[in-house]
Structure 1
Amino acid sequence: MADQNDPRLERLFERLQTVDTPINAQGVTNAIWVVWLEHDNPQVVERMHSGMDAMRRGNHFLALIIFDDLVARVPDYAEAWNKRATVHFLMGNYPDSLRDIERTLELEPRHFGALEGRGLIFGEMGLLEEELQAYEAALEVNPHLPGARRKLEALRGESERI
């Protein structure tokens, strides 16, 4: 099984808690992303790459169409929901992005990308407490997220000044 249910993930997440250098942490983090992107159906993998390519090119409308199709075809594939959440975020559709993040987390509660993305959305919405909690949750799963760590430290500093 290649997706969020892959048995390799358990070992990778355990390793993520014990790595001792940023380079090793990045290697484990990348390995997790690779597994999350895998799927037993090659057509699904091809569509994922097409959607990601459309996002990279800034064609959010096409990416959204592709990820809409993927979540309809393989509704238990967490990474399809996560990618669609990312497109919604890029388009400023925060409520839709949050709904897709929730589905991602139902399927893969350890999805640190979705947790960190939730923090970004709450930040855009001005929801300080929710933003703080989202970054804390992301760092609990993956303590090696420099962006989430910086945001959390800044938010804690901000809340101490209030």
Structure 2
Amino acid sequence: MVAKFSKLKAIVAATSLTVLFSVPLQVQAEMPQDEAGLLTALSIADPSDAIGLDRALQALWGKSGSAAMDLLMKRGVDALDRGDTQIAIEHLTALTDHAPDFAMGWYERARAYFTAGLFGPAVADLERTLMLNPNDYNAIYALGAMFEQFNDPQNAYEAYQRAEAIHPHHEGITNALDRLKSQVEGKEL
């Protein structure tokens, strides 16, 4: 009888492990690996799935294809996080000089310029980012923030709506739209 139960325990344990390890593999297999698939999935995802899709897109867009360029990006972003905007701009300028087709480099330098209060160069870099990657909802969101900075709520709202169409669960975009809605669309009577 004891041998029967120990055999049963082994079968239950093996079955449990099989189920446990196969479920995450099925979930991973269902997530698209290409940009178009990720963007389509993101546009219709529920909020919890949108987090993983956003991470996958950021990882995909963050690949420069060069270890040296990745290092420049890391140094620039780290400097920006430390509040050293001048060093960040220098690293990110080197990145955009050496990898002019890498959209994320332009986006990060736009963030550094914005932080430094250099709005003209920030807008120019956001435009370049969107030329290279028109689906970069973070760049579109940043452009909306620039329009807000310039006291242009109509264009800011339109930029946020464009970004929301790509990523409907982006918290910053949702908050910005809520904040500007009554100002742009007017108040209901």
The CA distance in 2 between the partners of 1:32 and 1:133, in whole Å, is: 23
Please report how far the alpha carbon of residue 158 of structure 1 lies from its aligned counterpart in structure 2 after TM superposition. Answer: 2.0
Give the residue type in structure 2 aligned to 1:8: D
Give the residue type in structure 2 aligned to 1:141: I
Of 81-90 and 144-153, deviating more is 144-153
* Equivalent position SS for 2:97: helix
For normalisation by structure 1, the TM-score amounts to 0.91
Q: Which residue of 2 aligns with 1:17?
A: 43
Q: Which has the higher contact order (CA 8 A, sep 6+)?
A: 1
Q: Which residue of 2 aligns with 1:8?
A: 34
Please report how far the alpha carbon of residue 124 of structure 1 lies from its aligned counterpart in structure 2 after TM superposition. Answer: 1.1
Give the residue type in structure 2 aligned to 1:118: L
* Equivalent position SS for 2:134: coil
Please report how far the alpha carbon of residue 129 of structure 1 lies from its aligned counterpart in structure 2 after TM superposition. Answer: 1.0
1:54 aligns with 2:111: no
Residue segments in structure 1 that go unaligned for 5+ positions in a row = 1-6
Residue segments in structure 2 that go unaligned for 5+ positions in a row = 1-32
Q: Where in structure 2 are the equivalents of 1:40-51 lying within 5 Å?
A: 40-51=65-76
1:107 aligns with 2:132: yes
Q: Which residue of 2 aligns with 1:64?
A: 89
The CA distance in 1 between the partners of 2:123 and 2:84, in whole Å, is: 21
Q: Deviations over 1:59-87 (max 9, x none)?
A: 10000001111111111100000000000
Of the three residues 60, 67, 85, the one matched with 1:35 is 60
1:155 aligns with 2:183: no
For normalisation by structure 2, the TM-score amounts to 0.78
Give the residue type in structure 2 aligned to 1:15: A
The CA distance in 1 between the partners of 2:168 and 2:120, in whole Å, is: 27
The CA distance in 2 between the partners of 1:53 and 1:79, in whole Å, is: 15
Identity over aligned pairs, percent: 27
Aligned partners of 2:153 and 2:183 also within 8 Å = no
Please report how far the alpha carbon of residue 23 of structure 1 lies from its aligned counterpart in structure 2 after TM superposition. Answer: 2.0
State the structure with more CA Rg. Answer: 2
Aligned-pair Cα RMSD in Å: 1.1
Of the three residues 77, 80, 85, the one matched with 2:102 is 77
Give the residue type in structure 2 aligned to 1:107: L
